[in-house]
Structure 1
Amino acid sequence: MSSRTRSARNRPARPRSDRARSTWTRLARTGLGRASAHRVRVAAVASLAAAALVLTAGCTSSADDRTSLVTRQQEARVTVVGATDAPERAVEASRALFASSPVAVVAPDGDPEAQAEASDEARRLRVPMLLAPAPAPAAGSSGASASPAPSTTGSTTDSAAADPTADGTADGSSTVLAAELERLGVDTVLTVGDVGALDATGVEVVTGASSVDVPEAGSPRSDVLAVVAGGDDVAATATARAAGAEVEALPDGVVDLQASGEAIDALHASTTTATVLIGASFASVPDPGWSVAAARSGEQLPGGGQRFFPDRRFVALYGAPGTGALGVLGEQDVAATVQRTDAVAASYDAVSDRPVVPLLEIIATVAAGAAGADGDYSNELSAESIAPYVDAAAAAGQYVVIDLQPGRADFLSQAKRYESLLSRPNVGLALDPEWRLEADQVPLRQIGGVEASEVNVVSSWLADLVASKGLPPKMFVLHQFRLDMLRDRSTIDTSHPELETLIHVDGQGSQPDKQATWRTLHDGAPAGVAWGWKNFYDEDAPMLSPEQTMADVSPTPDLVTYQ
């Protein structure tokens, strides 16, 4: 097993000095980095039953009208082979990678030794490998498998004369197998192990490989990467190799491409243009097309992988560029801000049980006391003025969150102002409902709030942006220190795989009061959200040290912000 199969979660955090060499560094030079180059990889999973465009060079029918061996071009950029049981996954792989084949290799489900031998034969012959359901126990056998009929190496039988129900194999799996043999146009089946009787009319069944001629090779599917989760998909994997596909096995226990640095490295390094995901676990992936495209982008967080929580802890400076009145982020220039953020994050290295990532939360739209020319009581910074912070953070291996204080505007219209920045892999989005006001409200006179429906509109737009550009997941932050700031909070949609939602508790003052707010806001929160805690340099009494923050705040925060 290659080094790629080691889980990223077991790798130590990068030394602080290595953060400057993070994969985000490339973004400072390339803007969108490689994400744009991978947009073409984003596609919905097409039906395996759709008509295929096939390569037929060198695969014409012979004089005796035997079936040609024809590999299949991929209709979709991503295909999922994710049926519940291995025999059906074997069929799905065959459908995905072969249009036709005169020969197929069949082994019994549940027989590892036979499957290993069958895998070798399928790859030698360059034909699909399929699985027959294990024979049912014979009557009165007390659960023992029926003994296989005597056979002679190289012998053949005509399965048309066999009774498909004789050994109990005429179930759903055997029906699927028979249908696939018919679809492929198989003339000869090479069996390895006790596969029972095959319900395949007119097919020659051979029990010895020496009697099987190697078919004329179909066009190899060298443009396909087969990603295999788990180690029990011998047949589907053998079919992928037989078709000429590149095969990458995921580390043990990994089913989320975004969680594995090794998987991301492998997909990024591959020059293939199509992907087949093999494994039952892939059937539950909400958006396989995006997941593959994001992994192929190659962008990773410090420490490896693309998932934020619970693999990492973030430590942030908060504020607006050019002014210290709104937070410490604006107390110094861009370069000094990045250095200060790195130093504050480093103070958590010794007390955090996870790798620590520095973060900048930049207030992009600032709630204002005056209506302004547009009447929305919000001053919007230009994306161009924020870009130097994003560039510098990317070069230093830091993440950035764009914070919105919309006044009387709505969150979506303001978020769209920063689409160019949000199209970068290291930039997420924060909504600050305290400053989301009604038409008759003014900042600092009322505390605002937002309906869950508006939050969901923004998260859907952001998730679509991530998916359309093949970007890694984004952090989606919701600020809150009163329950009515996020109205109908239980209906907030946290199902987008492209986003990882965090509720940031912004309470300030005495520690007992802050702890009470922290506990209150946890009650009834949407399932699966991460949590952020804020330390105020001037307003807290007292402000917690890094050691106290990790020890006294329970549950331990995923993000700690300094203002």
Structure 2
Amino acid sequence: MWSKLSRRHHLLLAGGVLALVLVLVAAWSLIGDTATARSTQVEPVSVAYAAPNEPQSVTVSRALFASSPSAVLVRDDAAPDVVTRGIEAAGTHHVPLLTVGPSSVEPVRRELERLGARTVAAVEPSSIPDVGVTVGDLQTVADQPAPVVDPTLVLVAERTDPDEVPTPAVEAAARVAAQEAAGTATAAGATGIVVSRPDPRASGQAIDFIKRHPSARVVGIGGEFGTTALLAANLDAARQAPELPGGGYTLFPGRRMVALYGSPGAPSLGPLGRQSLPATVARAQRLAASYQPFSKEKVIPAFEIIVTVASASPGPGNSYTNVIDPKEILPWVIEAGKSGIYVTLDLQPGRVDFLTQAKLFTALLKYPHVGLALDPEWRLKPNQVHLTQIGSVAAAEVNRVSDWLAALVRDNHLPQKLFVLHQFDSDMLANRDRISTAHPELQFMVHADGHGTPPVKMSTWNRLITGLSPDYAMGWKNFYTEDHPPFSPQQTMAVKPTPWFVSYQ
């Protein structure tokens, strides 16, 4: 789903600034008398913003075709086989494929006029609304010469209405619409790639293209890609970013994670600290493998390492927290990286603020496979003590940490980083709706830490997901001794929405 930043861009750019930004996708010349438009003097990176009610395929056509004597139309609710045949026809004849429905007749009509299309065809001509041009069958498509162009990448995000409930049907329709737009890009001689979110790092295929063609032209289709500067920054990060465990450059939906929780050498804190490092690696790998039969996504092992531990005594500075030397954690981070294991560093800061503690582990967080978790249960106010009060954290403090962590990702050209917020009580994340998720560098997650009987755990889960922004992924915790009975891997994966991150304590 889009980030809040992306939605703001989408709403803003659909308005009065449209005329200005469309300049970014202009300046094309023709090959021959009737050939597909090709770039002459264009920006190496640009965003093609959509007009109101404009299908993505029309936005692509306007960006890549100066003119075309013909076009193929597909109704926006066409069956998959019809869509496939339309994409194939457009690609064979090198003409635009335009998606049309009752609400998009005018944008399609305007695009046909701009193209100067003299013949328009469809797989099912009778299903196409009146677009001002007679629609024939595919035999009427005018063939064009194959375009010869420099490498061009067109990124199309799966666009859904942010106000619409993201049901499977809605998400499937968004994927089809994006595939149609990518088909138009391919017909123009570009490489069209659909990404699950408006970030080139969301697709390993896109990253491979960018790395193989570092000087290629790149066009993001739609305002959800943000400004040209933002897209250019994401491309720069993608060119330099190492891959995550399991492949790719963004975390979800490309994988799920199953983690051992705890601290090295501290058996009482969780299963991670109950055996040696090599044995912990093997245990995490076995645990992740037990989930694979129940996930269509790749399941990778993970560590969630408590690196600052809540203390019952005041300790240095009256802080009620013990900081583990990052040098003691480093071997675990290095071995995890070698073994394809993702690591999340967990903070239990006592009376210290989260950002101060996070900065102590800057060197570890520069590793591409290391994320950060905040545990508000253990964030005390000045006069509180652990196990007497349940801690909490204000949205402003969380935002300061996410701002800093996102900058660390950008400055060090890292792949997307996991940013976890633990929660089992509503007061633990004060004013949760004020927490900003406007950092595509981070994958925000709410991790449900409730324990007890299955009904109690599900009650906690349902309470936490109520009103939660779709910008968050969900995490789940299983307790070996405090759940009665513990959930099996199959039962855990049957929870809805299915958690992307499962930890064991």
- Tell me whether 1:487 sits opposite 2:412 in the alignment: no
For 1:354 and 1:503, the matched residues in 2 are separated by: 20
Q: How many correspondences in the alignment?
A: 400
- Offset of 1:502 from its aligned partner? 1.4
Counterpart contact for 1:268–1:298, Cα < 8 Å: no
- Match runs of 1:149-228 below 5 Å: 226-227=153-154
Q: Tell me by how many angstroms 1:131 deviates.
A: 9.0
Which one of 499, 502, 505 corresponds to residue 560 of structure 1?
Answer: 502
Q: What is the rounded CA distance, in whole Å, between the counterparts of 1:456 and 1:72 in structure 2?
A: 41
- How far apart in 2 are the matches of 1:117 and 1:358? 47
The alpha carbon displacement at 1:421 in A equals 1.8
1:331 and 2:274 correspond: yes
State the distance in 2 between where 1:145 and 1:221 align.
30
**1:386-433 CA distances to partner (integer Å, 9 max, x unpaired)?**
121111111111111111111111111111122222222211110000
* Structure 1 stretch displaced more, 312-321 or 285-294: 285-294
Alpha-carbon distance in 2 for matches of 1:516, 1:117: 56
Cα 1:136–1:347 change in 2 (3 A) is closer
Cα distance 1:372–1:513, how it changes in 2: closer, same or farther (>3 A)?
same
Cα distance between partner residues in 1 of 2:466 and 2:394:
18
Distance 1:232 1:524 in 2: 32
User: For residues 12-91 of structure 1, what are the structure 2 equivalents within 5 Å?
Assistant: 72=41, 78-84=45-51
Match of 1:348 in 2: 291
Q: CA deviation at 1:318?
A: 0.5
Give the match's secondary structure for 1:374: helix
Residue 469 of structure 1 pairs with residue 405 of structure 2: no
SS in 1 for 2:331: helix
Given that 1:264 and 1:298 are in contact with CA atoms closer than 8 Å, whether structure 2 keeps it comes out as no
Q: 1:523 deviation in Å?
A: 2.2
Q: Deviations along 1:475-510, whole A, 9 cap, x unmatched? A: 111111111111111222223222221111112233
- The question of 1:456 aligning with 2:399 is answered yes
Match of residue 114, structure 2, among 122, 133, 142: 133
Q: CA RMSD in A?
A: 4.2
Aligned-pair CA distance for 1:514:
2.3
What SS does structure 1 have at the residue aligned with 2:389? coil
Tell me, yes or no, if the aligned pair for 2:321 and 2:351 is still in contact at 8 Å.
yes
Q: Does 1:511 align with 2:492?
A: no
Q: Deviations over 1:316-351 (max 9, x none)?
A: 000112211211111122222111111111111223
Shift in CA distance, 317/235, structure 1 to aligned 2, threshold 3 Å: closer
- Does structure 1 residue 314 correspond to structure 2 residue 257? yes
TM-superposed CA distance for 1:280, in Å, is 3.6
CA distance in 1, matches of 2:294, 2:393: 36
TM-score normalised by length of structure 2: 0.67
The change in CA–CA distance for 1:414 and 1:225 in structure 2 (over 3 A counts) is: farther
> In the alignment, which of 252, 256, 261 is matched to residue 204 of structure 2?
261
- Cα 1:251/1:522, change in 2 over 3 Å: closer
Matched, 1:423 2:423: no
For residues 196 and 395 of structure 2, the distance between their equivalents in structure 1, rounded to whole angstroms, comes to: 35
Identify which of 353, 356, 376 aligns with 1:410.
Answer: 353
What amino acid is aligned across from residue 47 of structure 2 in structure 1?
A: V
- 1:555 and 1:531 map into 2 onto residues whose CA distance is 8
Structure 2 match to 1:544: 487
Q: 1:347 to 1:337 in 2, by over 3 A?
A: same
Partner of 2:80: none
Q: Secondary structure at the match of 1:494?
A: coil
Bigger share in helix: 2
Distance 2:283 2:418 in 1: 22
Rounded Cα–Cα distance in structure 2 between residues aligned with 1:423 and 1:529: 23
Q: Secondary structure at the match of 1:348?
A: helix
Query: 1:365/1:497 Cα in 2 relative to 1: closer, same or farther (>3 Å)?
Result: same
Equivalent AA in structure 1 for residue 355 of structure 2? L
Distance in 1 separating the partners of 2:90 and 2:352: 66
Offset of residue 293 of structure 1: 2.9
Q: Distance in 2 between matches of 1:500 and 1:373?
A: 33
Inter-partner Cα distance in structure 2 for 1:330 and 1:263: 39
- Which stretch has the larger CA shift, 504-513 or 296-305? 296-305
CA contact (8 A) 1:257 1:295 kept: yes
Q: Percent identity?
A: 43
Equivalent residue for 1:369? Answer: 312
Q: Does 1:277 align with 2:219?
A: yes
Distance 1:144 1:523 in 2: 47
- Matched residue, 1:169: none
Residue pair 1:87, 1:132 contacting (<8 A) in 2 also? no
Deviation of the 1:231 alpha carbon? 6.1
- TM-score normalized with structure 1 length: 0.60
Higher RCO, Cα 8 Å, sep 6+: 1
Partner amino acid for 1:476?
F
SS at match of 2:292: coil
C-alpha contact (below 8 Å) 1:473/1:499 kept by paired residues: yes
Is the 1:433–1:485 Cα contact (8 Å) retained in structure 2?
A: yes
Of 312, 322, 332 in structure 2, the residue corresponding to residue 379 of structure 1 is 322
CA contact (8 A) 2:154 2:182 kept: no
Q: Is the 8 A contact 1:315 1:344 kept in 2?
A: yes
1:357–1:398 CA contact under 8 A, matched in 2: yes
Structure 1: runs of 5+ lacking an equivalent: 1-45, 51-69, 95-104, 120-129, 147-192, 194-208, 210-219, 242-246
Show structure 2 runs of 5+ residues with no match. Answer: 1-19, 25-38, 74-88, 96-110, 119-129, 135-141, 157-178
Pair 309,136 (structure 1): closer, same or farther in 2 beyond 3 Å: closer
- What displacement does 1:369 show? 2.3
Indicate the residue corresponding to 1:531 in structure 2. 474
Quick one: which amino acid aligns to residue 524 of structure 1?
Answer: G
Partner Cα distance (1:410, 1:284) in 2: 32
The whole-number CA distance in structure 1 between the counterparts of 2:350 and 2:283 is 30
SS in 1 for 2:343: strand
In structure 1, how many angstroms separate the alpha carbons of the residues matched to 2:181 and 2:205? Answer: 20
| Kept after mapping to 2: 8 A contact 1:228/1:277 | yes
